[in-house]
Amino acid sequence: MANHKSALKRIRSNEAKRLRNRYQHKTTRTFIKRLRSTSDKSEAQELLKTVIAMLDKLAKRNIIHKNKASNNKSKLTKLVNSL
């Protein structure tokens, strides 16, 4: 157990950040699955904008690696263009 007040606070804040990051990451994965399953091009293009913004935000906050975000955006864009 932590002995200092600041260490206890750090434990609490880390847990809150972990839960927030986990929620954002899971939400993004859900949107990616929704985008992959859609067959309507106009709907997919709108969803792609949202997903790209979400991936950029995750990469900016170091929740995922920037190259992973870039690879996902590239693959999803190719998928939408092929519809």
Domains, in order of start, for the chain: 5-81 (1.20.58.110)
CA nearest 79: which of 33, 27, 20, 29? 33
- At 16-75, the pLDDT tens digits run 999 999 999 999 999 999 999 999 999 999 999 999 999 999 999 999 999 999 999 999
pTM above 0.75, yes or no: yes
Instruction: Round to whole Å and give the CA distance between 77 and 83.
Output: 10
pLDDT at residue 1 tops 80: no
Q: Give the pLDDT confidence score for residue 50 in this predicted structure.
A: 96
